[in-house]
Amino acid sequence: MFVASELNQHNQKTERLFHFLFALMTILLILPVAVILGVLVVKGGSAISLEFLFTSPSNGMTEGGIFPALIGTIWLVAVALLFSVPLGIAAAVYLSEYANDNWLTRLINLAIINLAGVPSIVHALFGVGAFVLFFQFGTSILAASLTLGIMTLPVVIVASRESMQAVPYVFREACWNMGATRWQTIRRVVLPNSISGILTGVILEVSRTTGETAPIMFTGAAFFLPYLPQGIFDQTMAMSLHLFVISTQVPGVPENLPYGVALVLVVMVLLMNSLSIAFRTYLRNKKKW
């Protein structure tokens, strides 16, 4: 009969201790999210209805629904993704597949790091100066979305570059030995095998752009608009700004109304992220390595 030695017993105790600590840290991370969702459901659940989702605010924004803000948020996120994802992937392709380790590459990496650390209010002022005034887009969906896209570019670039660098180098060598060019290798091998990691950056971008307020407050989001935007040069309401307004600027708002808006905003983010994660999982399962 095997009898565990003192060393084995000590290792088992240490293993159980670390297992408990890691499980405890996981619970501590999940608990605040569960508490926040619980509070939103309890205090804002009574505000949720079809009328709330598909009507405009009324009676000085103390009644009615959030439909213009909901559609406006989708506009802002979609245009920001159309701008930042192709540009971010192109930058990641250059840094991962073409760039040498020289002063220019180091300067680009430093710029990406600095861009990621700039406060959102500074991005808002940049958006006003660059897109609203210099390019004369005015206060519009386009100006606000471009500002959000610039703000979230580092997330897409870093996630895409790390995913491309995770593709085994022997895949590239095999293509080159078969006579493929560098671009053919990137297009046919590197990008398809790194798409799941690229989607990670997209998921993080969707989460951030949906909830940002400062970058859109001065560039395209409106305090109140009773109609839907017709194009990218129109202003629009947004969920994050609408929540801020009815929570701090509008008197006489029912208590459950801000919580209802916050609940819809959180569920909206979770839904978009869930769809992206499901698609990413599907692509990962198709990998051959």
Percent of the chain at pLDDT > 90 equals: 40
Mean pLDDT over each residue of the chain, to the nearest integer: 88
pLDDT tens, residue by residue, 60-72:
888 888 999 999 9
Q: Would you state the pLDDT for residue 177? A: 87
pLDDT tens, residue by residue, 106-148:
888 888 888 888 888 999 999 999 999 999 999 999 999 999 9
Q: Would you state the pLDDT for residue 1? A: 54
pLDDT tens, residue by residue, 5-48:
777 877 888 888 999 999 999 999 889 888 998 999 999 888 89
Chain centroid to CA 221: 18
Tokens of 56: 């405009």
- Position 287 pLDDT exceeds 70: no
Tokens of 73: 């948020």
- Report the number of secondary-structure helices (H) and strands (E) in the chain: 12, 2
Q: What domains does the chain contain, in order, with CATH numbers?
A: 64-285 (1.10.3720.10)
Least confident stretch, 93-97, 130-134, 203-207: 203-207
